[in-house]
Amino acid sequence: MKILLLGGGGYVGTPLTEKLLENKRNKITVVDTFWFGNFLKKNKRLKVIKKDIRNVKIEWFKGIDSVIHLANIANDPAVDLNPNLSWDVNVVTSIKIIKFATKCKVKKFIYASSGSVYGVKKEKNVTEDLDLVPISIYNKTKMVAERVFMSFKDKIHIYCIRPATVCGISPRMRYDVSVNLLTLQAIKKKKITVLGGNQTRPNIHIKDMIRLYEFFLKRKIPSGFYNAGFENLKINKIAKMIQKKTNAKINVIKSNDPRSYRQDSTKITKLGFKTMYGVRHAIEDLIDLDRTKKIKVNQSNYTVKWMKKLKIQ
């Protein structure tokens, strides 16, 4: 299978590329700016294009069977740095991308949206059929991009995946996502700082995130929206899980943001997908990593800090 992986040098994209290359029948083309570094290993079946996707070329899509679109400005604070850049990358460029994909007769298009597009819901089970009420600019760019892609569903199989917060280890590591951040605090400072703590957040282990993309590549699945969040946990519950493994102290600070988010991913599990990993595994993996290699942290592990340093526009 020939796969075009947009954003294949990122936190999820790097290990996803490595996993897809384990299948010797796969040929992968990765397009990425590599703002945070290039951690991809050389492979005869891997073509790397160091480009900004805003300069997308139709040539990238020729002969491609499936596209996985991970490239975007990645979270609320990063989007807030430059909203115009975010609309350009997350929405305007997406229009060009899907037009090129359909013109080149790509069979499958998998888009990494976000579970945050729902906004804050009162419903216990936040399923794909609920209305979207995005709160932030980031959420809004994701919602609009979804609508752009789904308008082409008669020409191409479209899968808009709505991932929860991803956790776990990657060659392109991030310590600005909740589980990784709190675990790092416990390892380095022996103290976990929790803001509020009663807020609920959905989570997905990075290995399951990769397995899910593979699932969509391999299976015949109807076009549509699919949640990808399998552990809805309160922040203080995550902190206690980390404390149990590290003996770190928990310091709770009052928060003026009590909002909770949840996801129900029954739709995809009914199609046969089963998780193999969880938050516990991510915590253990990070602790083991520190024991064996000693975790090294730099500014590029934090999206906003690094974007500010690079003065990305």
User: What is the count of structural domains for the chain?
Assistant: 2
Amino acid at 204: I
- Residues 134, 149, single domain; the answer is yes
Please report, rounded to a whole number, the percentage of residues in the chain having pLDDT higher than 70: 100
Q: What is the mean pLDDT of the chain?
A: 95
Structural domain includes residue 267: no
- Residues 87, 207, single domain; the answer is yes
| pLDDT at residue 148 greater than cutoff 90 | yes
Mean pLDDT on 72-99: 89
H-only helix segments in 22-92: 76-81, 83-87
pLDDT for the residue 217: 98
Could you tell me the maximum CA-CA distance found in the chain, to the nearest angstrom?
Answer: 56
Structural domain includes residue 89: yes
- Residues 195, 302, single domain; the answer is yes
> What is the CATH classification number for the domain harbouring 157?
3.40.50.720
Pairing of strands 157-163, 224-228: parallel
pLDDT for the residue 73: 86
Cα separation, 274 vs 271, whole angstroms: 9
- Residues 80, 119, single domain; the answer is yes
Which tens digits make up the pLDDT trace of 165-213? 999 999 999 999 999 999 999 999 999 999 999 999 999 999 999 999 9
- Residues 214, 197, single domain; the answer is no
- Residues 31, 70, single domain; the answer is yes
More confident site: 305 or 206: 206
Question: What's the domain range around 305?
Answer: 167-202+231-262+274-310
Least confident range from 88-97, 106-115, 126-135, 256-265: namely 256-265
Mean pLDDT on 32-48: 97
Which tens digits make up the pLDDT trace of 66-77? 999 999 987 777
| pLDDT at residue 132 greater than cutoff 70 | yes
- Residues 130, 186, single domain; the answer is no
pLDDT for the residue 313: 62
Amino acid at 156: I
78 burial level (CB within 10 Å; 0-12, 13-18, 19+) = buried
| pLDDT at residue 61 greater than cutoff 90 | yes
Cα separation, 125 vs 203, whole angstroms: 15
pLDDT for the residue 48: 99
pLDDT for the residue 255: 87
